[in-house]
C-alpha cells in the first residue's frame, strides 16, 4: 500500500473539505436565486375548468310532499314517468356518430391465399 505522510493526509483532507463546502455553498446560492426569481415573476396559470356558474333557482312546487310510511317504499310526488322520445327521433332511429369514411381512406379487401 501507498502510505501518505500525516501532513499530506491533512492537506488532502482540507482540500476535499474546502471543495465540498464550496459545492454546498454554490448549491445554496443557486437555490436562493431560483426562489427569488420565482417570487418576483408573475405566475400565469391556465385554468383547467371553466369558472363555476350558479345553477338556476328551482321553481317552487305547489303540491306538498307525500307522506312517508315506515317500512314502505319512498314516495314520489309526482309519480315518475318513463322517458319517451319524440316521434321524429323514433322515425330517424339511431344515427351514426361519424360520417362514413371517404373512399380513399378505405383499404382494399384482403386477398385470400
| Higher per-residue pLDDT: 88 or 32 | 32
Phi-psi map region of 76: left, alpha, beta (phi>0 left; psi -120 to 50 alpha):
beta
pLDDT tens per residue across span 47-100: 677 767 776 666 666 777 667 667 666 666 777 777 776 777 777 776 667 777
Q: Residue 36: phi, psi to the nearest 5?
A: -65, -40
- For residue 13, the Cα-to-chain-centroid distance in whole angstroms is 51
Per cent of the chain over pLDDT 90 is 25
Q: Give domain limits for the chain.
A: 1-30
Mean of per-residue pLDDT scores for the chain: 78
HSE value, Cβ hemisphere, 13 Å, CA-based, for 34: 6
Instruction: State the pLDDT at residue 14.
Output: 96
Separation of alpha carbons 81 and 77, rounded Å: 11
Amino acid at each position: 500500500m501507498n502510505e501518505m505522510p500525516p501532513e499530506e493526509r491533512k492537506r488532502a483532507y482540507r482540500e476535499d473539505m474546502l471543495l465540498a463546502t464550496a459545492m454546498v455553498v454554490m448549491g445554496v446560492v443557486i437555490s436562493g436565486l431560483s426562489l427569488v426569481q420565482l417570487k418576483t415573476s408573475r405566475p400565469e396559470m391556465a385554468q383547467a375548468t371553466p369558472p363555476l356558474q350558479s345553477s338556476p333557482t328551482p321553481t317552487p312546487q305547489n303540491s306538498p310532499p307525500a307522506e312517508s310510511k315506515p317500512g314502505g317504499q319512498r314516495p314520489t310526488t309526482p309519480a315518475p314517468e318513463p322517458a319517451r322520445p319524440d316521434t321524429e327521433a323514433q322515425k330517424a332511429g339511431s344515427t351514426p356518430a361519424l360520417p362514413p369514411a371517404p373512399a380513399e381512406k378505405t383499404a382494399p379487401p384482403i386477398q385470400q391465399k
